[in-house]
Structure 1
Amino acid sequence: ARTIERLKAERSLPYQAFAVLYRTNAQSRIMEESLRRASIPGRIVGGVGFYDRREVKDVLSYARAALNAADDVSWRRVMNRPKRGIGDTSEKNLAAWAQRNGRSFADALRQVETVLAGTPAVKRVSEFVELMDDLSRAAEEMPASGFLAAVLDQSGYVEALKKEATHEAEGRIENLDELLNAVAEWQDENQGGIADFLDEAALLGSNDDRAVQAVNGEHPDDAVTMMTLHNAKGLEFPIVFLVGLEENLIPHRSTTASLQEIEEERRLLYVGVTRAQEELYLVHAESRLTFGRTEPTRPSRFLDDIPREMLQDTDVFGQDIDDPRHLSRFSRNAWKPAASPTSVGSGSAGAAGAGQAGSGFKGGERVTHPKFGQGMVVGLSGDGAKTEITVVFESAGAKRLLLKYASLERA
């Protein structure tokens, strides 16, 4: 997001000049949230937003149902996901009983021996109620990340997807893995429970300006395009970011046992590389959250095929790492937009400058956090109470923290 802002300001480019390509749908979550934080419009081609995906909505519905017995929509959504052998007729009879008696759907489930007397569904519904009782207790006692892991395990949701053994099911499992990562990241910064995370997820899923504009009959075209490599065929953009160029992402972990499939992955990457008309950014992370744990990554083997003279290594601020004036792996000076008649005094540039100036911290500065220990400041964004600071900690890796709650001290 920072690089897009910089290039847009320097070259007066529209947002539609930029595209972000990735190997799996699950990778879009970080891109969506990064663009949203920077107030950059984005659109996903060939898919829906992360929090609007069926499996993500299903698991979050489990959480809502566990917290609120009166949430009929969530209880009805998850009762048969994964399939438990509770038919549509049984569900309709339970809903009708609840409506006649002015009771919640959860109450109807607890009266199943009366409502569905003598049917095979009685045992299955009773098992589901027992599951939800266990999850309700877990929601009160466990941290957010631990609770969602329990939902995936105890509900049998992931196990059911594994039994499907399809590419679509594999993609849904990756989305659920990314949901665990999202909760782990949120928990590190906020230390709240699952109810607090649900409030955040509701905002992320519904506060999409483009969706609101579409409902109002408006169709803005100027937005950063996000899509998988498979969906990028036949399209071109002036500036392309190929993200996640790491082993197990590209080539994907499911393809590494076959030379033929690895070559197909290589061709897929070639499709992404050739989408760039003017400039191409090849991006890989040093570490990545996997099932809620931070693990080191290895750059994709395909990067070794590119001649070094065709590459320029840059840091997180777009500065040349090989430049002798570069003082460290991370730039000591955050990028600031050049003053121009069109940018001086503009809302976004002025706000960013004010937030960074008033924070008291600067890029390259060493700081100490009570939980994460020592680290280096590598970025500041936002302004006022919404100022966020990005720090690379020696033991915990990179963290983005809300400055007013970060409790940072100079080392």
Structure 2
Amino acid sequence: MSDFFERKKQQLGVELNKIQKKAVTKTQGPLLLLACPGSGKTTTMIMRIGYLIEELNISPRRIKAITFSRASAKDMIERYERFFPELSPVDFSTIHSLAFQITREHLAEDDYIMIEGNDANRLSKKRLLRDFYLAENNEPITDDLLEELVSFISFVKNKMLQKKKWKQLDEPFPNAIDIFATYEAFKENHEPRLVDFDDMLTIALDALSKNSKLLSKYQQRWDYVMTDESQDTSMVQHAIVEMLVERHRNLCVVADDDQSIYTWRAAEPGYLLKFREVYPDAYIMKMERNYRSSGTIVATANQFIKKNKLRHDKNMFTHLPDGEPLVIRRLASQEAQLKYIVKELSGLDDYGDTAILYRNNSSSTLLMDELDRLGIPFYMKDADNRFFSHWVVQDILNFMRFSLRPERVDLYSKVASKTNAYWSAAQLRQLGRMQPATKHAFEEISLTVQLKDYQLRIIGEQRKTFDALQEMPPLKVIRSIRRDLGYDQMLASRAEKFGMKLDYLQEILSTLEQIAEPLPTMADFAKRLKQLEAVTNQAKVEKTDDMLTLSTMHSSKGLEFERVYLIDLVEGVVPTEEDAEDAALLEEARRLFYVGMTRAKRHLELISYDNESRFVEEVRRIALPNMKKAQSQKPATLVAPKAKIAIPDNPDAVSSIEELHEGAAIRHRVFGNGKITEIDEEKIGIQFAKEHKEFLLEICLQYQLLELV
């Protein structure tokens, strides 16, 4: 055994710690390996496979490694080939790939059509759902609602929820369950059978449950099974794995319940807590040493995640030095955040080991706009160009187009229902049949469509508004559309009716306004959106070593960077309002925040504005004592003794950083009244009547220099 590890140290330069070696050699029976961030789990898994082959003479064909994503499978294959180039291939695959293999074999004699993976197919999953939604609501489904419906269906399938329990579920929007039921019935009754990706899992499990010959074949194919990222595995996926290992029970499950961030995809982190219920003789090990991050980051993140209750008790640690203190900034606004980020980036010589992480993809659009203007190269881990095709964006563009081409009644018909004219369904159908005219569209509409008196009055006012838009810069145009044409009112109404998230829709409009602000004309605005769409598409596919990385916290899992900036850390974003109302969701939001923090090796900044996230406040309370403790443990430096300063007693003085926040009115004992412009754990900036000053926060508190006004 020791020869194996010594040999790999000589050959690869890979040296495992005591726990990692134990995980490699514990090959018989069920093993749950709980691996903290940066603990070297992939290296340990690959070494375990090599140990089975080289030391125990297990054939590579008898080993199965299951991953959560294709990227993970690819990474493990590459790592295995690099570590053990002389060995035969091992079967690495995703759980979906394995399920498809079982399903295809089970349905070998039956005709079926795979309806996912090709949306151009007439019978594609998304096309069918669009049709069923239209039939149910007499309204086309938006891309947002379609994604929510697809996720909901996947959630139900992966949870293995029976049809009789569907009605008890919270729908993503009204009638979602009815549309789901229609979709399932259509697939079942169609000849040949229709199958989507989620069906592959349920069909595979059903096949293994009912076809003993097929089950026996797959059980005898492998003697050792390993699963990676198992905190992201659903109930149906766990059930498939359980059946595969039932004969030999040589299962190694590698997971971290603290990094389970996909329960909305039906992941079951609770399964890890019940592992011994499934496998009473299971051996549970904890890989707690972090090789990635500084001591300060590791200690803070470890204490932060302990606030969650539903978890295995782990204590992440590192032997790396404490390094830089965490930077926690609360800025005045989202615009101030953007300016700060740009200023920080301008001071870097290289962007390749820097990442900006956020909860939602919508956060990336303004960043991308500014980075593109400044020529800073960037890569987007999970770029989402649906922003540019979103119906809200298209509405604003159609309003603008119509204002410039008022004879285009076809353009007005696209946005008429989004205005304050209260068009009926019959009137909208008439508008849709009208062709562009030589006169103003409203004149043609007045002659063609039977209107009520109040509607004639409203479109008269609308005409004045549209005429005025022609001379406005795009920012004022958008604000006039929202206010004068009733677009904001329409959004609120549609959000309530169709179960849309109003905050998200308003965020899109806010982003459009910020893109529009520096531009002089509507044509420039439309051109800029086209440019940004092209930049987004390019940023998804082009990646070089000198590029800044933009990513959601979800997609950053598994990555690491020297410098990490977590942005938009405000209540309502992380955690969301829904998270705050549900204990389980709040724990998941904290896990997501933890994942973001632990991507950083050396430099970590948490940036908020407005209503600061409760998680930032939790980290601040943890980080400040840790920093003071680290400072007190540093070797003493010989300095000349200072004269003791008498501190006047001031019972009204601020004694804690928690009492201070940006925007607060403050009185400095020497400089008088001012307003806090920025504050972090080290410094406080104050704008006085005639000047701006920065002070060391510790000195201000120690000498009782500040009072709240």
Q: TM-score, normalising length from structure 1?
A: 0.54
Q: Which of 16, 21, 27 is residue 363 of structure 2 equivalent to?
A: 27
Hey, what's the Cα distance between the residues in 2 that align with 1:269 and 1:84? 47
Give, in angstroms, the shift of residue 22 of structure 1. Answer: 1.8
Paired amino acid for 2:465 = L
Structure 2: unaligned runs, 5 residues or longer:
1-341, 629-656, 658-678, 695-709
Hey, what's the Cα distance between the residues in 2 that align with 1:201 and 1:73? 22
Counterpart position of 1:329: 685
1:308 aligns with 2:623: yes
Give, in angstroms, the shift of residue 94 of structure 1. Answer: 0.9
1:59 and 1:151 in contact (8 A); partners too: no
Hey, what's the Cα distance between the residues in 1 that align with 2:515 and 2:693? 22
Any residues of structure 2 matched to 1:101-116 within 5 Å, and which?
103=438, 107=441, 110-112=443-445, 115=448
Counterpart position of 2:433: 93
RMSD over aligned Cα atoms: 4.9
Hey, what's the Cα distance between the residues in 2 that align with 1:235 and 1:6? 23
- Structure 1 counterpart SS, 2:434: helix
Hey, what's the Cα distance between the residues in 2 that align with 1:181 and 1:165? 27
2:409 and 2:434 in contact (8 A); partners too: no
Deviation larger for 71-80 or 52-61? 71-80
Paired amino acid for 2:384 = G
1:243 aligns with 2:537: no
- Structure 2 counterpart SS, 1:111: helix
Distance 1:49 1:121, change over 3 A: same
Hey, what's the Cα distance between the residues in 1 that align with 2:485 and 2:448? 29
Any residues of structure 2 matched to 1:160-171 within 5 Å, and which?
160-164=493-497, 166=499, 170-171=503-504
1:52 and 1:205 in contact (8 A); partners too: no
Q: Deviations over 1:271-323 (max 9, x none)?
A: 322333554321123xxxxxxxxxxx24322123332156799xxxxxx9777
Counterpart position of 1:267: 591
Give, in angstroms, the shift of residue 182 of structure 1. Answer: 5.7
Hey, what's the Cα distance between the residues in 2 that align with 1:283 and 1:94? 51
1:112 and 1:122 in contact (8 A); partners too: no
Give, in angstroms, the shift of residue 62 of structure 1. Answer: 1.7
Paired amino acid for 1:135 = T
Counterpart position of 1:147: 480
Hey, what's the Cα distance between the residues in 2 that align with 1:146 and 1:308? 42
1:56 aligns with 2:396: no
Structure 1: unaligned runs, 5 residues or longer:
286-296, 314-319, 331-363, 367-372, 379-411
Q: Deviations over 1:132-167 (max 9, x none)?
A: 325325637985564143157357431233224545
Counterpart position of 1:157: 490
Paired amino acid for 2:366 = I
1:244 and 1:284 in contact (8 A); partners too: yes
Hey, what's the Cα distance between the residues in 1 that align with 2:592 and 2:531? 33
Counterpart position of 1:361: none
Distance 1:149 1:125, change over 3 A: closer
Q: Deviations over 1:116-147 (max 9, x none)?
A: 6xxx8999996884563253256379855641
Distance 1:157 1:88, change over 3 A: closer
Counterpart position of 2:542: 220
Counterpart position of 2:343: 2
Counterpart position of 2:649: none
Hey, what's the Cα distance between the residues in 2 that align with 1:52 and 1:244? 24
Counterpart position of 1:280: 604
Distance 1:329 1:2, change over 3 A: same
2:553 and 2:595 in contact (8 A); partners too: yes
Distance 1:300 1:198, change over 3 A: same
Paired amino acid for 2:526 = A
Distance 1:303 1:113, change over 3 A: closer
Hey, what's the Cα distance between the residues in 2 that align with 1:268 and 1:238? 19
Hey, what's the Cα distance between the residues in 1 that align with 2:443 and 2:461? 12
Give, in angstroms, the shift of residue 240 of structure 1. Answer: 2.6
1:85 and 1:124 in contact (8 A); partners too: no
Give, in angstroms, the shift of residue 49 of structure 1. Answer: 7.4
Distance 1:164 1:250, change over 3 A: same
Hey, what's the Cα distance between the residues in 1 that align with 2:506 and 2:488? 14
Give, in angstroms, the shift of residue 51 of structure 1. Answer: 5.3
Q: Deviations over 1:33-58 (max 9, x none)?
A: 33123211345424127555431231
1:135 and 1:151 in contact (8 A); partners too: yes
Distance 1:150 1:50, change over 3 A: same
Paired amino acid for 1:66 = S
1:80 and 1:86 in contact (8 A); partners too: no
Counterpart position of 1:79: 416
Distance 1:24 1:211, change over 3 A: closer
Paired amino acid for 2:425 = G
- Structure 2 counterpart SS, 1:329: strand
Paired amino acid for 2:572 = N
- Structure 2 counterpart SS, 1:207: helix
Hey, what's the Cα distance between the residues in 2 that align with 1:130 and 1:198? 23
Any residues of structure 2 matched to 1:354-369 within 5 Å, and which?
none
Distance 1:155 1:302, change over 3 A: closer
Paired amino acid for 1:158 = L
Paired amino acid for 1:75 = Y
2:560 and 2:601 in contact (8 A); partners too: yes
- Structure 2 counterpart SS, 1:20: strand
Paired amino acid for 2:543 = D
Hey, what's the Cα distance between the residues in 2 that align with 1:280 and 1:242? 8
Counterpart position of 1:393: none
Counterpart position of 2:508: 175
Paired amino acid for 2:466 = S
Deviation larger for 53-62 or 147-156? 147-156
Give, in angstroms, the shift of residue 31 of structure 1. Answer: 1.5
Higher RCO (CA 8 Å, separation ≥ 6 residues)? 1
Paired amino acid for 2:623 = R
Hey, what's the Cα distance between the residues in 2 that align with 1:161 and 1:236? 41
Any residues of structure 2 matched to 1:385-400 within 5 Å, and which?
none
Hey, what's the Cα distance between the residues in 1 that align with 2:402 and 2:510? 21
Distance 1:30 1:123, change over 3 A: same
Structure with greater Cα Rg: 2
Q: Deviations over 1:25-82 (max 9, x none)?
A: 4433431233123211345424127555431231243244235414567435423447
Q: Deviations over 1:146-199 (max 9, x none)?
A: 41431573574312332245455542232224445666xx3xxx7xxxx93534
1:86 and 1:124 in contact (8 A); partners too: no
1:232 and 1:272 in contact (8 A); partners too: yes
Counterpart position of 1:41: 377
Give, in angstroms, the shift of residue 242 of structure 1. Answer: 0.8
Paired amino acid for 1:4 = L
State the number of aligned residues: 294
